[in-house]
Amino acid sequence: MNADLNYRHGMSLGWRLCFILSLFATIPRLIFIWPSLAGPSGIGIGALGIIIQFIISFEFAWIFVYICLQHTYQIPNWFNRQRTPVQVLLLITLFLAINEILFQLKLALDTDNSNIFIFRIVYYLYHVLVLAAILGFRNFLLTTQENHRIGIENEQLKREQLKAQLEALRNQLNPHFLFNALNILNISIVTNPDLAQSIVLDLSDILRYNLKVQNQSLILLADELAAARSYLDLHKARFGEKMAFEFIGTDTSREWYIIPLSLQLLIENAIKHNVITSSHVLLIQVRLNEADKQVIVMNTVNKKLHTASTGIGLQNLDKRYKIQTGQQPSLVEDEHQFIVKVPLIEAP
């Protein structure tokens, strides 16, 4: 729901609120003049008094509902451009001025002005209550709008999370990925049984982790780091000395949280988009910086010339972090290094 639609919806509710408040304002008037409605002339005078009371109440309520809605939805105008103290002063001045004008009009139209002081107090008190009802109406609109926004963001987060999980699962069930893993496994069974066993365990850990995080919006950093290490071990078995990785300062006693598959996505991007040969060794570092509440993933850069890069993975990660935490990963790139700093989340 966009801002214009919100504003129009608020206006529609505002008209109804003004009508209801005006009806309530006429009830005391109706009770007060009820005894005088016995004669034909009394009915005409009483009806006129009720109509006047209704119109005055409706106009007062609508003026402040209109200002309230304009301010709530930040419609461009002179009032909304003023600072808060100026706005408050203007509202108080407007409230007193309108009250006095309507009060004098009421006196001019009323035949009984025997107790003006009491009448003035009651009149002002009534309009204070009307203003309180309007402010309550504004809070209701803001709460409804915020709940609607949160609902949309939650749905968007679920969609982005599902996209990330499907993308990660697609990468891991990619025929090339599985072929390489199984091919290395086949060779290692004879030449290096220990490595073969390690490959099976790593592949099992990766697939198990992806199943585990399917319905989770946050995961312990320790679990994400363990999955990232298994993912790197598997690729290390494939590339051997052409690839190196290290985890720096990742042992911590604190329970940090992270969005699932964040590190795996960054590692997969590094492997996918860089040349990996004996003369171009790919180095990947994962470093924990608790002081700045970040986990940093760095890889050396030697980009492939013809690799299609849509940037969807990083965009997806940005969206998920922004929706869920209000933060975003930061990216630093030069001709030698590609660095992504992923925010850490304290215990939810």
Query: What's the gap between Cα 5 and its chain centre?
Result: 19
Residues 6+ apart with CB under 8 A from 267: 228, 231, 232, 235, 284, 297, 299
Distance CA 243, CA 66 (A): 66
The whole model's pTM is what?
A: 0.54
Specify the residue for token string 């985890």. 247
Distance CA 71, CA 80 (A): 6
CA distances, 108 to each of 25, 111, 118 (Å): 19, 8, 16
Nearest C-alpha neighbor of 204 from the set 231, 239, 235, 177: 231
Distance CA 22, CA 45 (A): 19
Alpha helices in the chain (DSSP H): 3-33, 40-72, 84-109, 116-172, 175-191, 193-212, 221-239, 262-273, 312-325
Instruction: For Cα atoms 271, 276, 281, give the angle at the middle one, nearest 5 degrees.
Output: 105
CA distances, 88 to each of 79, 84, 85, 102, 160 (Å): 10, 6, 5, 21, 42
Nearest C-alpha neighbor of 234 from the set 209, 259, 262: 209
In the chain, domain spans = 3-153, 173-343
Are 259 and 320 contacting, i.e. CB atoms less than 8 angstroms apart? yes
Q: Tokens at residue 190, please?
A: 């004879």
Specify the residue for token string 């964040």. 262
Residues 6+ apart with CB under 8 A from 25: 53, 54, 57, 126, 130
CA distances, 190 to each of 76, 140, 187, 266 (Å): 75, 71, 6, 33
Taking phi first (over 0 means left), then psi (-120 to 50 degrees means alpha), and beta for anything else, what does residue 103 get? alpha
The three-class DSSP label of residue 209 is: helix
Distance CA 143, CA 148 (A): 8
Nearest C-alpha neighbor of 247 from the set 314, 296, 198, 302: 296
Distance CA 115, CA 107 (A): 11
pLDDT of 101: 79
Specify the residue for token string 């299609």. 308
pLDDT of 31: 56
Q: What is the pLDDT along the chain (348 residues), one digit of tens a residue?
A: 466 767 777 778 788 888 888 777 676 655 555 455 544 554 555 566 677 777 877 888 888 888 887 877 777 777 778 888 888 888 888 888 887 777 777 777 665 556 677 767 777 787 788 888 888 887 887 787 777 777 777 777 666 666 665 555 555 545 556 666 777 777 778 778 888 888 888 888 888 887 788 777 788 999 999 999 988 988 888 888 999 999 999 998 889 999 888 898 899 889 888 999 988 899 999 999 999 999 999 999 998 877 655 566 677 778 778 777 778 888 888 888 999 999 998 876
Query: What's the gap between Cα 93 and its chain centre?
Result: 37
pLDDT of 42: 47
Are 43 and 37 contacting, i.e. CB atoms less than 8 angstroms apart? yes
Distance CA 208, CA 210 (A): 5
Would you say domain 173-343 falls under CATH 3.40.50.11890?
no
